[in-house]
Amino acid sequence: MTTAIKTARRRNPRGRGERLREEILEAATRIVAETGGASQLSLRGVAREVGIAATSVYLHFPDIDQLKAVLVDRGFAELNQARMAAMKGITDPAAALRARWGAYGQFAVDHPGIYRLMFGPHLPAAQAFDSPDSPGRQAFLAAVDAIRHCQEAGMASTDDDPFRLATLVWAAVHGTASLRLDRPNFPWPPLDEMVDDLIQRIIGVPRDGATALDVAMKP
Amino acid sequence: MTTAIKTARRRNPRGRGERLREEILEAATRIVAETGGASQLSLRGVAREVGIAATSVYLHFPDIDQLKAVLVDRGFAELNQARMAAMKGITDPAAALRARWGAYGQFAVDHPGIYRLMFGPHLPAAQAFDSPDSPGRQAFLAAVDAIRHCQEAGMASTDDDPFRLATLVWAAVHGTASLRLDRPNFPWPPLDEMVDDLIQRIIGVPRDGATALDVAMKP
DNA sequence: TGTACATCAGTGAACGCGCGTTCACTGATGTAC
DNA sequence: TGTACATCAGTGAACGCGCGTTCACTGATGTAC
């Protein structure tokens, strides 16, 4: 929490009231990042961080849960961007799969607070895979497709249902990331290495450096 | 939370003051089980659940964190018992490995609140793998040995470091269990099936029904 | 056998704190006439 | 061009609540003499 004295805030000019909404979201993001979770997130705490009266939060959010929901939505958007950036220019399906889940794990480690919020308990149904267009569901289905591409490229066995494989990988990578956050003193191998290893073992996709040809020649 | 009116509590007879300690722990366990986590656990809440004055908790616990620490210790003891019960009489190393992690996953699903407490954030160092005799560390090292047994029995490749394999399995099974708790609407396969599948893929150990001989004959 | 005293197992009032939420208010700035 | 008014972007006091923590107290029961 930032305890430094803030320079007195000036009210936003007429017609720019929405700026405060943005400041509130930024402050909440900061608190979640600094405390490593949302359990400390309070309406009054956010107001304090912004430097406004507690009641001013009501001008933009009916309650703290609505604010959290926006944080989660932004978290998913940021995770999507990070994943797309990591996958950019990669054509090999196996490398793309590794990049995809590597970005996921890295996001969790880089943003523990928001990650816990996104994948922890107490998430409203609309954001937690329930609605067909929930961001998590969209991303998961894209991950299923990514596995299918590996299968179609002959890089993974077609005996397995890609949805099931994606489920296994998600569980494994989520466990890797969240245990790392919650048990920082365990002697973890490097994150990327561990994610790659899990993907290789679960999907059967070749490890870095190998090509589809290597796999085709294996049996 | 139990809101039913309690029959008025009678004070414990002389020399039996320690009984209250037990009642407090039971009440705390109930609250953690019913709320699915420890974030709601408060000194006053526990006292209310027991039916005593808030101050009476201080007779046995200096603060709520010490109480939580005891809950966590008991949780690890219970998990150990459940695992030993599940592995009882099993001689096949691969089946033992499946039983071990199956019991772990089942414990998490059966006791979400205490599991989150045991493997979530904010655990005191003594219980979180830091001290050599922390319960989690003991259990993990036993899991490493279980994998070594599989390797020695020719049921798993000896190319892999068993410590690393145990790390991968722990991450995967933890992810499986905790995502299941936090995303209950996802179409999860049955827990046992998923744990077995992950173990088979990660360790290379034969699935249920297969024997060491099948593996030896495979290549 | 009777009684004073110590110990034990709690209790109850009170404190300050941070929280969410309500309500009426303020003061700058644009706009209609 | 001047002024009344509406709107906008917030504020400040007050409320009741649950929390942890303190302190002195209570009342039953065993024990020493």
pLDDT tens-digit series, residues A10-20: 999 998 999 99
Instruction: Compare CB distances from A182 to B119, B185, B188 and report the shortest one's residue.
Output: B119
User: How many A×B Cβ pairs under 8 Å?
Assistant: 104
Give the chain A residue whose CA is nearest to the CA of B176. Answer: A171
Closest among B81, B129, B71 to B103, alpha carbons compared = B81
Closest among A38, A20, A18, A19 to A28, alpha carbons compared = A38
Render pLDDT for B65-115 as a digit per residue (tens, 0 to 9).
999 999 999 999 999 999 999 999 999 999 999 999 999 999 999 999 999
Query: Mean pLDDT in chain B?
Result: 91
Say what the pLDDT of residue A208 is. 65
Those residues whose C-beta lies under 8 Å from the C-beta of residue B91, and which sit 6 or more positions away, are none
Could A185 and B36 be called an inter-chain contact, meaning their C-beta atoms sit closer than 8 Å? no
Nearest amino-acid residue to C22, taking CA and C1': A55
Distance in Å, residue B112 CA to nucleotide C13 C1': 38
Tell me the nt nearest to B14, Cα to C1': C8
- Any idea of the CA torsion for B48, B54, B60, B63, to the nearest 10 degrees? 100
Instruction: Tell me which nucleotides of strand C come within 7 A of a protein CB.
Output: 8-14, 18-24, 28-30
What is the rounded distance in angstroms from the CA atom of residue A192 to the CA atom of residue A22? 34
Using the CB atom, is residue A45 less than 7 Å from strand C?
A: yes
Say what the pLDDT of residue A209 is. 54
Say what the pLDDT of residue A207 is. 73
Could A125 and B185 be called an inter-chain contact, meaning their C-beta atoms sit closer than 8 Å? yes
> At B30, phi and psi to the nearest 5?
-60, -45
CB A191 within 8 A of CB B192: no
Percent of chain A exceeding pLDDT 70 equals: 91
Please give the distance of CA B151 from its chain centroid, rounded to a whole number: 26
Measured CA distances, A29 to A74, A108, A115, B169 (Å): 10, 15, 11, 33
Could A201 and B197 be called an inter-chain contact, meaning their C-beta atoms sit closer than 8 Å? no
Please spell the DSSP secondary structure of A140-199, one letter per residue.
HHHHHHHHHHHHHTTSS-TTS-HHHHHHHHHHHHHHHHHHHHH-TTS-PPPHHHHHHHHH
Say what the pLDDT of residue A184 is. 94
List residue ranges whose Cβ is under 7 angstroms from nucleic strand D: A 9, 11-17, 19-20, 52-56, 59; B 13-14, 42-45, 48, 54-55, 58, 63-64
Percent of chain B exceeding pLDDT 90 equals: 82
Render pLDDT for A87-130 as a digit per residue (tens, 0 to 9).
999 999 999 999 999 999 999 999 999 999 999 998 877 888 77
Say what the pLDDT of residue A7 is. 62
What is the rounded distance in angstroms from the CA atom of residue B78 to the CA atom of residue B84? 10
Distance in Å, residue A61 CA to nucleotide C30 C1': 26
Say what the pLDDT of residue B126 is. 82
Render pLDDT for B164-211 as a digit per residue (tens, 0 to 9).
999 999 999 999 999 999 999 999 999 999 999 999 999 998 876 554
Tell me the nt nearest to A11, Cα to C1': D9
What is the rounded distance in angstroms from the CA atom of residue B214 to the CA atom of residue B219? 10
Q: How far is A129 from chain B (nearest CA, A)?
A: 6
Q: What share of chain A is helix, strand, coil (3-state, %, to 5)?
A: 65, 0, 35
Instruction: Compare CB distances from B120 to A164, A170, A182 and report the shortest one's residue.
Output: A182
Residue spans of chain A under pLDDT 50: 1-5, 211-219
Distance in Å, residue B51 CA to nucleotide D22 C1': 21
Measured CA distances, B80 to A12, B36, B103 (Å): 59, 21, 9
Nearest amino-acid residue to C20, taking CA and C1': A43
Confidence band of B4 (pLDDT split at 50, 70, 90): very low
User: Which DSSP category does B155 fall into?
Assistant: S
Give the residue with greater pLDDT, B124 vs A183. Answer: A183
Question: What is chain A's length?
Answer: 219
CB atoms under 10 Å from CB of B74, counted, come to: 15
Say what the pLDDT of residue A133 is. 87
What is the rounded distance in angstroms from the CA atom of residue A32 to the CA atom of residue A21? 17
What is the rounded distance in angstroms from the CA atom of residue A212 to the CA atom of residue B212? 31
Could A185 and B39 be called an inter-chain contact, meaning their C-beta atoms sit closer than 8 Å? no
